[in-house]
Amino acid sequence: MNTTAAINERLKELEALKTDTFGKDFLLTWENSLDNLKAVMLVAEILQLLHWEKKPWRIFDYGLAISIFRDNSTRTRFSFASAVNGLGLALSELDEVKSQIAHGETVRETANMISFLTEVIGIRDDMYPGEGHTYMTEVANAVSDGFATGILAQRPTLVNLQCDLDHPTQSLSDLLKLKDYFGGWDNLKGKKIAMSWAYSPSYGKPLSVPQGVVNLMSRFGMDVVLAHPEGYDLLPDTLDSAKCFAQQSNGSFRITHSMSDAFKDADVVYPKSWAPMSVMQERTRMLRQGDKEGLKELERHCLAENARHSDWECTEEMMKLTHGGNALYEHCLPADISGVSCEQGEVAKSVFERYRLHTYQEAGYKPFVIAAMVFNSKVRDVVEKIRSFL
């Protein structure tokens, strides 16, 4: 199928959807309907097809995109930059240390001061339970107020680049890889995906990737198994919603404390380390109190606890348990690769190398997912606008 035919096929699917994305932020996948999610992914695929043909998909003549990263990032940072550039915006990163935030400037004031010619604000705030999503909604309310009172000529669209609850740009990229690999969304029904904790020689990794994965894949009829050692729990509300989504989609969702149980007959495996919910809550409390000694002791305790579960590794032997012995390996990257990035980690070197290009393709969807989120929020007639690019 040529590019134009592939795009027209997706436009036909788009026209059949009932969406509610215009003028809306994208903060959590579970706040969006299935049609909204499909619309983001279809537009992402179209923009990627246009990119490979070197056809522009600019929708802005001028304006800014602002990124606020409160945690380190490679893929998401550059994906956001390339996405907004493709849409026609210049990028400016808000450095909170160099801004007046360091002098006590409020979130409401900062949000308005950075938004006079701003069309989109992307935020990563993922480290502390109860903080990231709350901060994003505070910024959203501030720019809504600025627009409603005539301070801002336009209301910037907010995009969640990872918070304490969800990592929607990542999980939608993961799902697009699955759609491509298995040949469509309908082919995901009944497929087993193991979202498993895996050993890492570090601690403090956010909960939002596993929470995002179990909540998104359960909406597409997959048999979702969440695996982790006892004590490495996720936030209860995100588990409750995953159970509800599985029931609605005629899929399934269960939790196990055995990695091998999760991997048995799995079609997809996603071994990824995260910190226990209780640890993240304790870490947040200590950071607020400036308890440096407490933080050092907490890290020592957590690393020792992780070491008790060093056998939770995606090895060749573990992969043999999967469906046909060749389940698709997914990861948000960077993976802790045994013998490469660390002495022992989440995944064996041989397993990662076999699936490396798959993970790169998985990551390659992210710029287009971000662009699609903004595109669908800013363009009233998405189908007509895309046709103007052809």
The token pair at 297 is 């002791």
Residue 189 structural domain: 170-364
Cα separation, 242 vs 281, in Å, equals: 22
pLDDT band at 46 (very low <50, low <70, confident <90, very high): very high
Cβ-contact 85, 139 below 8 angstroms: no
DSSP state of 115: -
Q: Do 85 and 202 fall into the same domain?
A: no
State which amino acid sits at residue 76.
T
Q: Do 212 and 149 fall into the same domain?
A: no
Query: Span 127-146, mean pLDDT?
Result: 94
pLDDT of 282? 84
Q: Do 352 and 376 fall into the same domain?
A: no
Q: Do 114 and 197 fall into the same domain?
A: no
Q: Do 371 and 359 fall into the same domain?
A: no
Q: Do 137 and 178 fall into the same domain?
A: no
Residue 306 makes CB contacts below 8 A (sequence gap 6+) with: 199, 200, 201, 203, 273
**Domain CATH for 54:** 3.40.50.1370
Cα separation, 22 vs 32, in Å, equals: 12
pLDDT of 103? 64
Segment 215-240, tens digit of pLDDT: 999 999 999 999 999 999 999 999 99
pLDDT of 182? 98
State which amino acid sits at residue 233.
D
Select from 88, 126, 79 the least CA-distant residue to 365: 79
β-bridge mates for residue 91, sequence order: 65
Between 284 and 297, the higher pLDDT residue: 297
Query: Span 201-205, mean pLDDT?
Result: 85
Q: Do 191 and 113 fall into the same domain?
A: no
Segment 349-369, tens digit of pLDDT: 999 999 999 999 999 999 999
Average per-residue pLDDT for the chain: 95
Q: Do 266 and 332 fall into the same domain?
A: yes
Segment 287-343, tens digit of pLDDT: 788 888 888 888 888 889 999 999 999 999 999 999 999 999 999 999 999 999 999
Between 1 and 376, the higher pLDDT residue: 376
Domain count, the chain: 2
pTM summary value = 0.96
Q: Do 360 and 371 fall into the same domain?
A: no
CA dihedral 56, 62, 63, 65 (to 10 degrees): 20
Farthest CA pair distance, the chain: 62
pLDDT of 61? 97
pLDDT of 292? 85
Q: Do 349 and 372 fall into the same domain?
A: no
Segment 270-279, tens digit of pLDDT: 999 998 888 8
Segment 240-270, tens digit of pLDDT: 999 999 999 999 999 999 999 999 999 999 9
Cα separation, 278 vs 280, in Å, equals: 5
Q: Do 149 and 214 fall into the same domain?
A: no
Between 151 and 128, the higher pLDDT residue: 151
Q: Do 377 and 255 fall into the same domain?
A: no
